[in-house]
Amino acid sequence: MAAAAVIGVDWGTSNARFLLADRDGGLLEARDGPGVAQLASPDAIEAACFDALAAWPRLPVVMAGMVGSNIGWRPAPYVPAPAAVADIAASAVRFVARGVEFHLLPGVETRRGDGTPDLMRGEETQIFGVMTPDDTLVCLPGTHVKWAIVAGGRITGFHTAMTGELLDLMARGSILLNPRRAASAEVDPAFLDAVAAIRTSALGLESMLFGVRSRQIGGMLDPALADGYLAGLCIGADVRSALLLHPVASRVLLVGTPALTGLYAAALSAFGVKSDTIDGRDAALAGLVRIWRATAR
């Protein structure tokens, strides 16, 4: 077995992944931990961190995600897009805690056409883990979906879609599902019917959503499959908006969990767009190690 060289931490709002790796980025061991939203203070985050690291050697730790936000351990800045690996490495917050060297990575900020800021924190690390020399449209499905343009080795721009959070709010807090529940979706006829409906309709999502209820009442949709139809509308609308912004995209790189990337791949296919898929944990580790190497130069 290769020797351990670095510990990468992908620490978000709802969970944390601690990844022990060798110098080449090979994963040696992984552990999960609580998200920053479940920890009451920076001191609690520090304690959770060292609990997770207790059995591992004292190695440099590279951390990305909400752990560097205003609800995290210590604040790390946002780097303006276009941003390269060197920009992230140069803006890392370096400190020592309990004798361990930490590199807390910044997020990335961009501006929309109307001047509204858009932000990512953690996803940039996954993007740098999958980056190739080719210009690429990258989609990272999740609670807040990121669609990013990568060109010339840099994240040149991106936008955020609150698709995952919207889907959860509609499933748990509206009249669309009875009983109300967390939406559970797979690539089934109900999901694909909803994607086709949103693709061919001139109506926006705000109008199409009521069809989840009306189709059940009209006998057109089995209530047991209604959450799949709801997910198809939300994901289909997300894909439609992204492709309107990037009309020349013929292929999209999907980064995330297999369950989510499978849904997005099916929706993209319905719009005539091909996709490739990379596991989010693999992307995060590759990005963390790549940035760590850049910080050591």
Residues 143-174 pLDDT 10s: 999 999 999 999 999 999 999 999 999 999 99
Which tens digit of pLDDT belongs to each residue from 242-266?
Answer: 999 999 889 999 999 999 999 999 9
Please state, in angstroms and as integers, the Cα–Cα distance from residue 108 to each residue in 120, 194, 285, following that order: 5, 33, 18
pTM above 0.85, yes or no: yes
Identify the three-state secondary structure at position 3: coil
Rounded mean pLDDT, 214-234? 97
> Which string of b and e fits 56-95 if b means at least 16 CB within 10 Å?
eeebbbbbbbbbbbeebbbebebbebbbbbebbbebbbee
At 34-84, the pLDDT tens digits run 999 999 999 999 999 999 999 999 999 999 999 999 999 999 999 999 999
- Residue 2 — pLDDT band, cuts 50, 70, 90? confident
- Say if residues 272 and 252 touch (Cβ distance below 8 Å): no
Give the model's confidence band at 111: pLDDT under 50 very low, under 70 low, under 90 confident, else very high: very high
List the structure tokens of 155.
Answer: 């994240």
Output the CA torsion sign for 12, 34, 10, 295: positive
Domain annotation for the chain: domains and CATH numbers: 163-279 (3.30.420.310)
H or E segment and range at residue 137: strand 136-140
Rounded CA-CA distance 232/195 in Å is 5
Average pLDDT of span 273-287: 96
- Record the tokens describing residue 58, joined without a space: 């004292």
Mean confidence (pLDDT) of the chain: 95
| Rounded Cα distance, 232 and 218, in Å | 19
DSSP state of 83: B
- Find the farthest-apart pair of alpha carbons in the chain and give their distance in angstroms, rounded: 65
Alpha carbon distances (Å) from 116 to 109, 110, 120, 165: 10, 9, 14, 20
Instruction: Find where tokens 């990335």 sit.
Output: 108
Which pLDDT value is given to residue 14?
Answer: 87
Question: Would the pLDDT of 223 be above 70?
Answer: yes
Report the relative pairing of strands 93-97 and 100-104 from DSSP bridges: antiparallel
Q: What percent of the chain has pLDDT over 70?
A: 99
Split at pLDDT 50, 70, 90, the class of 1 is low
Q: In this predicted structure, what is the pLDDT of residue 173?
A: 95
Q: How far is CA 58 from CA 46, 75, 210, 229, 276, in A?
A: 15, 23, 55, 49, 37
pLDDT for 18 equals: 97
Would you state the pLDDT for residue 295?
A: 84
3-state secondary structure of 84: coil
Q: Is the confidence at residue 297, as pLDDT, over 70?
A: no
Q: Are 22 and 4 in contact (CB under 8 A)?
A: yes
